Amino acid sequence: MEFISIKQAMEKGTGQVNIRGWCYRVRNSNKMAFIVLRDSTDIIQCVVEKSKVSEELWNEALKATMECSLEITGEIKKDDRAPTGYEISVSSLKIVGESDSFPITKDQSPEFLLDKRHLWLRSRKMTSILKVRSSVFQAIRKFFNDKGFYEEHSPMFSPTSCEGGSTLFEVKYFDDIMYLTQSWQLYAEAMISALEKIYTISPCFRAEKSKTSRHLSEFWMAETEVAWYNLDDILKNAEDLVAFIVKYVVEHNEEELKFLGQNIEKLKKIKTPFPRITYTKALEILKKDGIKVEWGKDLRTIEEDAIVKHYEKPVIITNYPKKIMAFYKPKDPENPKTALCFDMIAPEGYGEIIGGSERDTDIEEMKKALIAQGEKPEKYEWYFDTRRYGKVPHSGYGLGVERVIAWLCNLDNIKDTIPFPRTMIRRTP
């Protein structure tokens, strides 16, 4: 038997169809059984009329419970009273997998739904988010592939830190200790001398001790590294990527965005160029809002949120204080207290979605910065070789994929952007 999806069945609109899926809802009277069937594409109401079917079929229909899996054959027709505008009059029905009493009912707490995430994934909310997630990955790949970038990968086991030691996960590695990767960047900087323009989408690991709605301990980062690019070049690439992802998702996921309560017109306005300000200018904006930040202190979430309130698009903040930046971010020769770096902050309080910079090519400067951060420069000797043998100016950035999904899907918590989230306190299922 050939099966079609519920969506294809509704597109067909008339005649006999074979569909299969899971029981989304079921209601019986002594004459009729209404089974709403769900598959990955949609839901549809299926009706079994006792007077029109064999006793065997009627008895099978009565066995259907929420979330059992089923194969159904019947006549489809338009019906405005049905939940999705079509109804199937069932002529054959088979339960493929029975379902015990389903533990998820209405109005359950977010924690309960996280405990039952393996089942809650079937909800229309999670299904919609995961479809958007898939589109975001597709968009990132399309953006870079169309520009001739190579997709490459770095090891997940790393002997050193990239973004500072405080968020490293240690792993026992045979008789030694290694760390789970925080970023592909140091390896990417070696690869550009071969391939020039590269990108990756990869899991990253950070032992974030904060219980915020924006941090995961395992998340996915889309990173790029480009030879010969300066800060201006990489900024242009970063804003083009974000505008491209938004456009791609608006074009491919209108239905899902609507279901999630997102305002599509608002997303359509996310076009380049994005506003650009320096860190110093950001402090002036904050001061006018009555928020005092001492020059040299990093911007915290509340401060980022206060800045983006002034804009409708993502905001690019450049030239953070050199002293508080990762060791590879170079001094700006025109303003040596600051670094040639940037963060991109999403609208509406979704936080930092990109961090990037030019890369320092001065080995001695980097050694000093590493020592100041309590690292051992000897461990980075292989990395310094990239500067010893034909160094070139280069730049790159990393985009937090889940932060972007949270923003596009209008979610209050980053945990809902990934099928099985990992945070300091959430490690199951």
Query: Given the rule CB under 6 A, which residues bind ligand 4AD?
Result: 162-163, 182-183, 185, 206, 208, 215-216, 219, 221, 223, 352-356, 396-398, 400, 402-403
- Closest approach, Cβ 192 to Mg ion, in A, equals 21
- Closest approach, Cβ 264 to ligand 4AD, in A, equals 23
Candidates 330, 355, 400, 421: give the one binding Mg ion (CB under 5 A): 355
Give the distance, in angstroms, between the CA of residue 57 and the centroid of all CA atoms in the same chain.
44
Q: In sequence order, what DSSP letters do the residues of 263-297 get, joined into one string?
A: -HHHHHT--SPPPEEEHHHHHHHHHHTT----TTS
- Cβ distance to ligand 4AD smaller for residue 287 or 323: 323
- Closest approach, Cβ 385 to ligand 4AD, in A, equals 19
How far is 124 from 22, CA to CA, in rounded Å? 13
Nearest to 87 by CA among 77, 95, 97, 96: 77
Q: Which amino acid is at 339?
A: A
Q: Which amino acid is at 235?
A: L
Residue 215 interaction partner, one of ligand 4AD, Mg ion, none, beta carbon < 5-8 Å per kind:
ligand 4AD
User: What tokens does 194 get?
Assistant: 């071969």
Cα of first residue to Cα of last residue in the chain, in angstroms, is 36
Residue 402 interaction partner, one of Mg ion, ligand 4AD, none, beta carbon < 5-8 Å per kind:
ligand 4AD
- Cβ distance to ligand 4AD smaller for residue 347 or 400: 400
Does residue 356 bind Mg ion (CB under 5 A)?
Answer: no
**What is Dmax (Cα atoms) for the chain?**
87
- Closest approach, Cβ 185 to ligand 4AD, in A, equals 4
Give, in degrees to the nearest 5, the angle at Cα 344 between 155 and 287: 135
Instruction: Decide if 374 contacts 409 (C-beta within 8 A).
Output: no
Distances (CA, A) of 16 to 22, 78, 233, 345: 19, 13, 57, 52
- Closest approach, Cβ 219 to Mg ion, in A, equals 12
- Cβ distance to ligand 4AD smaller for residue 90 or 198: 198
CB atoms within 10 A of CB 51: 7
How far is 374 from 195, CA to CA, in rounded Å? 32
Contacting range for Mg ion; rule: CB under 5 A; set: 64-72, 264-272, 354-362, 375-383: 354-362
The answer for residues whose C-beta is within 8 angstroms of residue 215's C-beta and 6 or more apart is 206, 208, 414, 423
- Closest approach, Cβ 99 to Mg ion, in A, equals 45
Q: Which residues from 106-135 bind Mg ion, rule CB under 5 A? A: none
Count of residues that interact with Mg ion, criterion CB under 5 A = 1
Give, in degrees to the nearest 5, the angle at Cα 223 between 327 and 426: 90
- Closest approach, Cβ 118 to ligand 4AD, in A, equals 22
Contacting range for Mg ion; rule: CB under 5 A; set: 274-282, 295-303, 326-334, 355-363: 355-363
- Closest approach, Cβ 292 to ligand 4AD, in A, equals 25
Distances (CA, A) of 154 to 164, 179, 229: 18, 13, 21
Residue 154 interaction partner, one of Mg ion, ligand 4AD, none, beta carbon < 5-8 Å per kind:
none
Residue 79 interaction partner, one of Mg ion, ligand 4AD, none, beta carbon < 5-8 Å per kind:
none
Residue 330 interaction partner, one of ligand 4AD, Mg ion, none, beta carbon < 5-8 Å per kind:
none
Residue 359 interaction partner, one of Mg ion, ligand 4AD, none, beta carbon < 5-8 Å per kind:
none
Instruction: Decide if 216 contacts 208 (C-beta within 8 A).
Output: yes
Using CB under 5 A as the criterion, which residues of the chain lie in contact with Mg ion when the complex forms? 355
